[in-house]
Amino acid sequence: MDAQGRGRAGDDNVDPADQWVFDPNTGNYELRLDPAGQAPARPSDRKVPGSRRAARNPGGAVGDTDTRPLPTQGGRRGRSAADDTGEPPTGGRAARRAAAGRTATATASAAGPASRRKRKPKKSGKKKALYWTAGVVGFVLVVGCGGAYYLYQQLDGNISKVDVGVENDAVSDGPVNLLIIGTDARSGKGNAGYGDSGSVGHADTTILMHISKDRSNATALSIPRDLITDIPNCPTKQKDGSKKVIPGEHEVRFNTSLGQEGRDPGCTWRTVEKLTGLKVDHFMMADFNAVKELSEAVDGVEVCAAKDIDDPKSHLKLKAGRHTVKGEQALAFVRTRHAIGFGSDLDRIKMQQQFLSSLIRKLKSSAFSSPGKLYDVSQAATRALTVDTGIGTAGKLLDFGNDLKKVDIDKVTFATVPVLDNPNDKATVILDQAKADPLFAMVRADHTLAKHKKSKGKSSGPAKKAPPELVRVDVTNGGGPIGSAQETVDWLQNNKGAKLSTNAGNAPAKLAATRLEYAPNQADQAAALADWMGLPKSALKKSSQDAGDRVPMKLILGKDFKAPGTPIEAPTETPDGVQNVNADDKNVCAK
């Protein structure tokens, strides 16, 4: 541990892990720094006044010295009158040992009036562990920082940040979209020898992590690097402080949104927003060393191979079965693609999702019972990290991580943005719009991709649907794009076989939301039409009386209507054909 600012300069023989002491009163590890006698740095650890306080400051002023915040936090976390004195806490190891023999009565007298605060209950073995969230490198880095509260001043020096022209608050009340970028830059310690030595650092691995508003679930969307997409104009901040707008490009590889033409992570940020329709809140970027150092820090990550793997490109050699990989072997695992599946980048994405899920499970299960391991992971995480200015300090990262820690690992789902082979270039892919649109809509609507547990109660089942040839409906345009009524009728007749659909022109009034009016005896027709159109239950308006045999239903297209075949409401189930895996699934193996 760096001695600077900690009163240990010149003492090079101190193991950082030896400076951590477990406090049974709080269930936390605390940093003890002797002989300077400084109190634990964490302001949230409030101690009950008693013998330990008196031992540190016998005969001193009344007040718990353990409540002193770090200097950089005074204005943020609140200060007491004792905190404002600016005096350092007194005492040291010798004082504490001397105080150990005092009686409880003498101790209470020295400590002054008893605190009105309730004593914190002793945490159970499970709660002594850190709380871990989500399933990508970004969350590993966030939580690694969160666990190292005591060291955050030192960790600040490890973190690199980029001003992308957007500075969102670290903590938000709504859903959070965190952009994780793994760059293939070859500069920096330990990055030589991987592929193109002249790479400027492209967006080699990109994951958009969406955390729901209520923090109950998260979806991690892997974006293929070879996806052909549009890159918008990108304002970037230059080294001299000036700003330069890098022109956008049409139909180019997604990975060129970073590095190419001098683009910074803000360009990838804006490209992802344009692609998905989701507003990005923060980004985290790491290079090859992140995988190597983090896997070493946790003593390896378990992975599974369904067959023998021998990839001459990544130099990964594994027999079929389960293995623990770390360092260079861990990096080889996440870079492998030639010896699995079809040898594509989509297969490598599956390897990365397996590795990241397993890494988070390892962190969650071991939970850093050792302060030394906590120190190692915190250092590895922050050294590997580049972030936006909104979370550009360890303190902000801690706040960010604490905000997201409620997400359980079994409510985290990895999915790959659906793509098709590019007919014009076999080395690239294009967006599968029919699957991607409902997937993006589902995430934008904050719907989880995690599978719900089946209810033990009886299900009423879906409503009976009428055959297409019996669906009779008049379609009117009450706020949709011009020509929507005729376009919808053509689609119903030609794509769904509903020949009894009719264009009834413009509706008498504009509607904000699409509406389907039907009679009780038309429920089966309404069920079929609602399914085709992707109508929410709120759009269905049933009358009180049955209709005649030849009376049509009325479909009024509202302002929320976009096009026939595009659901009005975001789906609540993962679209068919979208590759996805739960982060808590331990049975995923590379094939």
Whether residue 259 sits in one domain with residue 168: yes
Both tokens assigned to 462: 């879906």
Q: Is the pLDDT of residue 7 over 80?
A: no
For 104-152, write each residue's pLDDT tens digit.
Answer: 444 444 444 444 444 544 444 333 322 222 233 444 544 444 444 455 6
Q: Is the pLDDT of residue 533 over 80?
A: yes
Residue 406 counted as domain residue: yes
Whether residue 282 sits in one domain with residue 166: yes
Higher pLDDT, 24 or 434: 434
**Residue that the structure tokens 């940040």 belong to:** 161
Whether residue 445 sits in one domain with residue 473: no
Provide the H-helix boundaries in 367-473: 371-383, 394-404, 433-444
Q: Is the pLDDT of residue 69 over 80?
A: no
**Per-residue model confidence (pLDDT) at position 202:** 87
**Do residues 484 and 558 lie in contact, with contact meaning Cβ atoms separated by under 8 Å?**
no
- Burial label for 166, CB within 10 Å (0-12, 13-18, 19+), is middle
**Per-residue model confidence (pLDDT) at position 243:** 93
Higher pLDDT, 535 or 67: 535
Lowest mean pLDDT among 152-161, 163-172, 368-377, 547-556: 368-377
Residue type, 209: M
Residue 131 counted as domain residue: no
Residue 98 counted as domain residue: yes
- DSSP one-letter string for 186-225: --STT-TTSS-TT----EEEEEEEEE-TTSS-EEEEEE-T
Q: Is the pLDDT of residue 35 over 60?
A: no
Number of separate domains in the chain: 3
**Do residues 180 and 138 lie in contact, with contact meaning Cβ atoms separated by under 8 Å?**
yes
| β pairing state of 472-477 and 553-557 | parallel
Q: Is the pLDDT of residue 307 over 60?
A: yes
**Per-residue model confidence (pLDDT) at position 200:** 62
Name the domain boundary from 392, 420, 450: 450
Higher pLDDT, 431 or 373: 431
**Per-residue model confidence (pLDDT) at position 25:** 59
Q: What is the mean pLDDT of the chain?
A: 76
Q: Is the pLDDT of residue 355 over 80?
A: yes
Lowest mean pLDDT among 176-185, 251-260, 277-286, 551-560: 176-185
Which domain does 498 fall in, by range? 468-557
Distance CA 180, CA 187 (A): 19
- Res. 409 pLDDT band, cuts 50 70 90: confident
* Residue 23 DSSP class: E
Higher pLDDT, 51 or 320: 320
**Per-residue model confidence (pLDDT) at position 80:** 39
Higher pLDDT, 19 or 50: 19
**Per-residue model confidence (pLDDT) at position 135:** 32
Distance CA 316, CA 324 (A): 13
Residue 405 counted as domain residue: yes
Whether residue 181 sits in one domain with residue 81: no
**Per-residue model confidence (pLDDT) at position 189:** 52
Q: Is the pLDDT of residue 457 over 90?
A: no
**Per-residue model confidence (pLDDT) at position 520:** 95
Provide the H-helix boundaries in 405-458: 433-444
Whether residue 441 sits in one domain with residue 505: no
Q: Is the pLDDT of residue 86 over 60?
A: no
- Res. 246 pLDDT band, cuts 50 70 90: very high
Q: What is the pTM of this model?
A: 0.67
For 208-234, write each residue's pLDDT tens digit.
Answer: 999 999 999 999 999 999 999 999 999
Whether residue 234 sits in one domain with residue 155: yes
Mean pLDDT of 465-486: 96
Whether residue 195 sits in one domain with residue 53: no
Say what percent of the chain tops pLDDT 90: 46
The CATH number assigned to the domain holding 516 equals 3.30.70.2390
Mean pLDDT of 177-195: 67
Lowest mean pLDDT among 41-55, 461-475, 538-552: 41-55
Among residues 576, 552, 543, 537, which one has the least CA distance to residue 466? 552
Whether residue 96 sits in one domain with residue 28: yes
Residue 264 counted as domain residue: yes
**Per-residue model confidence (pLDDT) at position 139:** 47
- Res. 23 pLDDT band, cuts 50 70 90: low
Residue 333 counted as domain residue: no
Whether residue 188 sits in one domain with residue 145: yes
Higher pLDDT, 281 or 118: 281
- Res. 393 pLDDT band, cuts 50 70 90: confident
**Per-residue model confidence (pLDDT) at position 395:** 81
Whether residue 446 sits in one domain with residue 474: no
Q: Distance between alpha carbon 150 and the CA centroid of its chain, in Å?
A: 24
Whether residue 497 sits in one domain with residue 439: no
Residue 354 counted as domain residue: no
- Burial label for 318, CB within 10 Å (0-12, 13-18, 19+), is buried
Residue 271 counted as domain residue: yes
Name the domain boundary from 450, 476, 504: 450
